[in-house]
Structure 1
């Protein structure tokens, strides 16, 4: 059996990211899901720019603030205590707009935990 118990604030942020990323999956040694907590200041993106995944599903659960998710269909506003799900092959860019007055804190889960990301050019 294996169990992990820790405070998210005790996880060192991942270096060289445009927003604060704390990898729960790395701290717990998870292999099947990528689980991260992001703290996104106004004007910052969640680490990846506009992109899509071949196989990975993504779930954004907003803990505080309002997350903007840009898609080819338009931009969604995801408020506190709301969830936004992105299916494979669906381009998106999650960010906190420059016009925001507060940071956004969100849990992002991607499964399976694969590196299948591709840039997307909306032009």
Structure 2
């Protein structure tokens, strides 16, 4: 693992502001909302369920995110998370088709890292830091 100054992180976000972090929310929440209440074809619904199941199985959601002290922290994919990033692009396409605008953000400095694994860093943005 380890972060070098040249590491570029990626985050897929909607325009909705997350009340805890104060930054734009990640697309997995929007994808779950679309799955549960969107006007999807049978194939789109099946496809969305498959992709979300993959993330549930392979992407760790660290318990530390439930701690109040870390409520401002946001997740970023590392370059090594190529399969997860590929699947996020697919989710972006589905959400875009249904009117949910998704932005793809890149940064080499996600803020103060409070968690790291092989695929992601979770960081608290510095005061005033915008992406």
- Give TM-score scaled by structure 1 length: 0.25
- Give TM-score scaled by structure 2 length: 0.24
Q: Which has the higher strand share?
A: 1
